[in-house]
Amino acid sequence: MTAARLVRATLLTGSAGLVAVGLASIVLTREADAQASRPIAAVVVNPTPAFEVPEPMRFDPATETSRWASVRHEAPVVAAPSATSAVVAHLDARTPEGTANVVLVGRYHRDRTGQLWRRILGAGEDFAGGWAWVTSEALGAGGVSHARLIIDRRALTATLERSGRVRFRAPIGVGAPETPTPAGRFYIRNTLTRYASPRYGPVAFGTSAQSTATEWPGGGFIGIHGTNRPELLPGRVSHGCIRMANHDIVRLARQLRAGTPVVIL
């Protein structure tokens, strides 16, 4: 406190006021000295973090979240995230049906040269061994799926689950013993109405599963479609494709989207 303020305080409050002001000045000065002598870590108590890492979530197959991406341009697919790795497949921007191609995507990896790679699951027999890698720039926009379609070849049912809850179930036809529907993890590539007919029903889905015996017009891939022979369902009656009654495929079409994983048991 300056001398002028002390004089003013004395005139206004008298000697008692001067004593109180003086004591307050001493306390403030001591606190300021103590604060200045503290290390910075002691002065900044419980700072608000700029970024907090949440607790890891446990993986639950019943509620798994899958990501998919469109294919921006043609690109080689390699076994490992490296430019020197063996090419195991080739990624096309369009499907055999002429629609935009999509793939399931996993984690990223940046190699020593700075190249960013993305782990993917694509379509066809080249991906029968599982996931492979493609450069990140070969992929475009995509999305997230909280659903999966389960094809049970023993129970002859198709079940759509979303966030762990059953949203759809229907009896199906699958491949005959000599032309079986392949087992594995696949996904929906497209929704099609161009094949609407008594044979394929009002709507169909193209999958990433492939079989050379299938009658699917897209080049040997497994389709999910309707039929004009619902009396054959459930049964093992096809060349590999998955058939269901027309009213069921229409119900499914209201919920099923490209990029949804398909598990064939």
Greater confidence (243 vs 33) lies with 243
**46-84 pLDDT tens trace:** 444 444 434 433 434 444 689 999 999 999 999 999 999
Q: Which residues carry out catalysis? A: 225, 241
pLDDT at 21: 41
The residues, any chain, with a CB within 8 Å of residue 149's CB and separated by 6 or more, are: 158, 159, 160, 188, 256, 260, 261, 262, 263
Residue 172: which of 218, 93, 227, 124 has the closest Cα? 227
Taking 70 as the threshold, does the pLDDT of residue 94 lie above it?
Answer: yes
Q: How many CB atoms within 10 Å of residue 250?
A: 14
CB 158 within 8 A of CB 166: no
Beta-bridge mates of residue 75:
91
Write down the pTM of the prediction: 0.73
Which is it for strands 173-175 and 235-238: parallel, antiparallel or unpaired? parallel
